[in-house]
Amino acid sequence: YAKPTFADGAILAFGNAHVGDVLATQTASVTNTVVTNATFQDALRVVANAVNGKLTATGLASLTAGNSGNVSVVASTATAGSLAGDLDLLLTSLAKSGTGLTDSSLTAGKLTTTGAVYDYAKPTYVATTLDFGNVRAGATVAGQSIAINNLVVTDAAYQEALAVSASSANAKLALGSLAGLTAGNAAGTLTVDASAATAGSLAGNISLGFTSLAKAGTNLGNTVLAGGTVAVTGAVYEDRKSTRLN
C-alpha cells in the first residue's frame, strides 16, 4: 500500500489580517514513503477537506512512491471571521493499473488552521448642522453633541474599536473626543461647547478624525479612516453701550 508520511496534527498559522488583505498560502508536505520497492508500491491520493468555509484546500491526485507533494490551503479575507478549524486529510492507496487490485482507504489524518480576519471600525453619524443660535456676550450657551456609532459590518467580535478626534479652525469651539467605541454598542457622544466670553462668529466646520483601533494581541496596526465634517452656525454679539454727555 501507499505509505503517507506527514506531520499529523500540524498547525497551519495564517495569522491575523484585515478584510481585503492578502494572506500567504499555507502548505503541508506529504510523502509517499517507500516501504520496500517503489515499483511495487501504490500511489497515494490525498483529499483535503476544510471545515471552515473561508478556507479552500487542494490535495494531491496521485503521489507515486518515493515522492513528496504539498497540500495547499488558501484563506479568504473577503469578510471578517475566524480562520481556525480542522483540515481533514482523506488518504487512498491507488492500485496500480493492470494488477487487478482495488484502491484502499487508509487511516485519515488531520491538520489544524489558525488565524482570523478583522473588519475595520465603521463610523456612522448624522452630519446635521449644529446651531448655537445668536447670543449676547457673557451668556451661557448650551452645549451641542454629535452621536457617533461604530456600526457592525459582519461580526462585532471580529471588528475593531473606533477612536474619534475633532478639530476646528474656530477657537471659540471646544471639542471632545472618543477613545474607543466598540462595535455595535450604544452611540458615543462627542461634545461641542461654544464660548460666549467675547463677540464673534461661532460658525465653521468641525473636522472629525476616525481611527480603527487594532484589537490587543492581534499584531495588527491602527488604521486611519476617512474623516468627516459637521457644520456649525451661530454668533456672539456685544451689548450696545451708551455714553452720557454732561
Quick one: the chain helix, strand, coil %, rounded to 5? 0, 55, 45
pLDDT at 215 over 80: yes
Average pLDDT over residues 66-90: 97
**pLDDT grade for 127, boundaries at 50, 70 and 90:** confident
In angstroms, the CA 237 to CA 240 distance is 9
As a whole-number percent, the residues of the chain with pLDDT over 90 amount to: 95
Average pLDDT over residues 67-74: 97
pLDDT at 171 over 80: yes
**pLDDT grade for 245, boundaries at 50, 70 and 90:** low
pLDDT tens digits for range 88-124: 999 999 999 999 999 999 999 999 999 999 999 999 9
Mean predicted lDDT score pLDDT of the chain: 95
Measuring CA to CA, which residue among 46, 95, 98 is closest to residue 71? 46
Average pLDDT over residues 44-60: 97
Give 241 or 163, the one with higher predicted confidence. Answer: 163
pLDDT at 231 over 70: yes
CA-to-CA separations, 38 to 59, 63, 135, 163, in angstroms, rounded: 21, 11, 94, 63
| pLDDT of res. 241 | 62
Q: Take residue 178 and report the three cell numbers written for it.
A: 472618543
pLDDT at 207 over 50: yes
DSSP codes of every residue in 112-174:
EEEEEEEBPP-EEE----EEEEEEETT-----EEEEEEE--SS-GGGB-EEEEEEE-S-TTEE
Average pLDDT over residues 66-77: 97
**pLDDT grade for 244, boundaries at 50, 70 and 90:** low
pLDDT tens digits for range 175-199: 999 999 999 988 999 999 999 999 9
Full-model pTM: 0.89
pLDDT at 242 over 50: no
Average pLDDT over residues 204-220: 97
